[in-house]
Amino acid sequence: MNKSIFGILLITLAFSFYSCAEKVAVAESKVNLPGLQCESCVVTIKTALKSVDGVSGIEIDKKTKVATVKFDKSKTDASKIETAIAKSGYDANEMKKDMTAYNGLPDCCKID
Ligand SMILES: [Cu+2]
């Protein structure tokens, strides 16, 4: 391959990576929360998510028991988000709740 063409290709590639990264910096993750019972659960989970660096938006639907979390991909990821929820006492997708945190929840928030 001609060296100058190769150089142009490299630059084009670098630029397209750059613009891609700009667009997808904010990602969205859906988390199933089978243990979600009441408004108090919503508050507990929101508090846990707010402590995760990079989380920029949290919506929790009590009917569907799904949390929609917006986050900065360069700072956090879906598994860190699930871990934060699990540590607050709730199952998050496939991640099992922390039993110590769960036992400390108000009675109305316990499911078993
Ligand atoms: Cu509750």
pTM above 0.85, yes or no: no
Domain membership of residue 2 (yes or no) is no
Look at residue 67 in the predicted model and tell me its pLDDT.
98
Do the Cβ atoms of 71 and 55 come closer than 8 Å? yes
How much distance in Å is there from the Cα of 31 to the middle of ligand 1? 17
2: exposed, middle or buried (Cβ count in 10 Å: 0-12, 13-18, 19+): exposed
Domain membership of residue 52 (yes or no) is yes
Residues near ligand 1 ion, CB 5 Å cutoff = 37-38, 40-41, 109
Domain membership of residue 17 (yes or no) is no
Higher pLDDT, 102 or 23: 102
Domain membership of residue 86 (yes or no) is yes
Domain membership of residue 49 (yes or no) is yes
Higher pLDDT, 104 or 24: 104
User: Which domain range does residue 82 map to?
Assistant: 25-109
How much distance in Å is there from the Cα of 77 to the middle of ligand 1? 26
How much distance in Å is there from the Cα of 38 to the middle of ligand 1? 4
Look at residue 111 in the predicted model and tell me its pLDDT.
85
Task: Report the pLDDT averaged over residues 35-47.
Answer: 97
Domain membership of residue 57 (yes or no) is yes
Q: Model confidence over 80-94: pLDDT tens digits? A: 999 999 999 999 999
User: What is the C-alpha to C-alpha distance for residues 89 and 45, in angstroms, rounded to an integer?
Assistant: 9
Secondary structure of residue 37 in the 3-state scheme: coil
Number of domains the chain contains: 1
Domain membership of residue 3 (yes or no) is no
How much distance in Å is there from the Cα of 104 to the middle of ligand 1? 12
How much distance in Å is there from the Cα of 19 to the middle of ligand 1? 42
Domain CATH code at residue 65: 3.30.70.100
Q: Model confidence over 45-81: pLDDT tens digits? A: 999 999 999 999 999 999 999 999 999 999 999 999 9
Domain membership of residue 89 (yes or no) is yes
